[in-house]
């Protein structure tokens, strides 16, 4: 009987890795009621499933001990990061921050890095990875010299090229040149102790970061799940599987 329920090394290698994805809490309409809901754009879960993983939503405030049941982690996009976390006062362009979410996601990043759990940061997720590693953020690119035309603002989506750094993990996954979407009004000014793995082709803004001492610890400024870049999620799932 035990042989039917105990996993074998072969079954462990072929099972779908469980990938946690950070989500947001927002008030949402449920019939006649407005209730607090845990929400996440469906593109994230679709990308993880297409890459061979099992997505699991992680609400703000979740305990880092949840990593015990995860094989990998995606820190998703979301609201602006509280500037006090990188030693600055907020500019007038900072959207409503969610300090509790900042703290809980920072704790998840630290725990994942410490345990060497494969980690992928998307947009805000990449920025928060940098802040956790001692970095800083451009609070509003339209007012940042040299980057005035970069990114999306007030719902806009733009496109541009990205050049990856040869020899990096991101370069091995994406190749040398990538066409990406841009939906952010903030950007990384200082990556802290993370290594830069990609820049914007037209203005040099940091678009990718990573840690070279971990199995998989990558952040990108764009949203690959919105433009069919499943390869990056597949690389995460493969790392989570141990392949």
| Predicted model pTM | 0.90
187, β-bridge pairs: 138
Any catalytic annotation for residue 123?
Answer: yes
Any catalytic annotation for residue 199?
Answer: no
Any catalytic annotation for residue 14?
Answer: no
Per residue in 79-104, pLDDT (tens digit) is 999 999 999 998 888 876 788 899 99
Annotated catalytic residue within 62, 123, 130, 217: 123
Annotated catalytic residue within 138, 171, 223, 229: 223
Nearest to 216 by CA among 23, 53, 77: 53
Query: Domains in the chain, start-ordered, CATH in brackets?
Result: 16-241 (3.40.50.880)
Q: Which residues of the chain have pLDDT under 50?
A: 1-10
* 230-241 vs 42-50: helix crossing angle, rounded to 10: 60
Per residue in 8-17, pLDDT (tens digit) is 444 556 789 9
Q: Which residues contact 192 (CB under 8 A, 6 or more apart)?
A: 130, 131, 132, 133, 134, 135, 136
């Amino acid at each position: 009987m035990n042989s039917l329920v105990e996993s074998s090394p072969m079954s462990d290698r072929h099972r779908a890795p469980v990938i946690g994805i950070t989500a947001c809490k927002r008030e949402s309409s449920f019939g006649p009621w407005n209730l607090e809901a845990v929400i996440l754009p469906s593109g994230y879960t679709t990308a993880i499933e297409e890459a061979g993983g099992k997505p699991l939503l992680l609400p703000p405030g979740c305990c880092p001990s949840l990593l015990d049941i995860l094989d990998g982690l995606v820190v998703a996009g979301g609201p602006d990061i509280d500037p006090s976390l990188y030693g600055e006062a907020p500019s007038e362009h900072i959207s409503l921050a969610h300090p509790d979410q900042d703290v809980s996601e920072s704790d998840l990043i630290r725990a994942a890095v410490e345990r060497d759990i494969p980690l992928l940061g998307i947009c805000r997720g990449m920025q928060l990875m940098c802040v956790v590693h001692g970095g800083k953020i451009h609070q509003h690119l339209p007012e940042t010299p040299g980057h005035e035309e970069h990114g999306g603002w007030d719902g806009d989506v733009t496109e541009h090229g990205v050049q990856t750094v040869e020899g990096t993990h991101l370069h091995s996954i994406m190749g040398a040149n990538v066409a990406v979407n841009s939906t952010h009004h903030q950007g990384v000014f200082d990556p802290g102790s993370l290594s830069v793995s990609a820049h914007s082709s037209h203005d040099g803004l940091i678009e990718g970061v990573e840690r070279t001492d971990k199995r998989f610890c990558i952040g990108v400024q764009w949203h690959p799940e919105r433009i069919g870049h499943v390869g990056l999620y597949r690389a995460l799932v493969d790392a989570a599987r141990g392949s």
